[in-house]
Amino acid sequence: MAASSSTAADVLPQQKYDLFLSFRGEARLKFISHLYAALKRKQILTYMDDKSLESGDEIGPALSTAIEQSKLSIIIFSKHYASSRWCLDELVHILKCKEAYGQLVVPVFYDIDPSDVRQQKRTYADAFAVLEERFKDKKGTRCASGEMLSQQQPIVDVIIWFDKYF
């Protein structure tokens, strides 16, 4: 009997959503609500987390599963996206799904210059200074931002990754 080979299809999670929206709450009323309504009109099944998130919470299993079960993730980078531990955890999980399953990932820069994100300027510089201070003495944290800081890999490396693909 021949040995069976594992294919990408064997390890892909079941696709439940067409897309997953990752965003910071500040963009919800002005942009996200309109985008979500337009996607819904086009019958694009979109996962958008409507729960109020507590500061410091880790992304939950349901949210992780929704990311994994989406064909496409859209990351809405806004002025305060990087100041949210939750958003950064989502970002890292999305990128893991990109690498593991070939999930499509599209960045959108809302009300912010992409160079502010790539070069960690203005609100992104402020957010990472706060995160670095908060996690400098914590080893083994499960927080995406802490994980990156402990590995000496700033978020700008993740953003530059987009330049390769877009």
Question: What whole-number distance in Å separates Cα of residue 105 and Cα of residue 96?
Answer: 11
Tokens of 114: 């992409």
CA angle (17 as vertex; 11, 21 as ends), nearest 5: 110
Choose, from 26, 54, 68, 90, the residue flagged as catalytic.
90
Question: What whole-number distance in Å separates Cα of residue 166 and Cα of residue 158?
Answer: 13
Residue with tokens 């410091």: 56
Strand residue runs (E) in the chain: 17-22, 46-47, 70-77, 104-109
Residue with tokens 């989406």: 70
Cβ neighbours of residue 7 under 8 Å, at least 6 residues apart?
none
Q: Is 90 a catalytic residue?
A: yes
5: amino acid identity, one letter: S
Q: Residues with catalytic annotation?
A: 90
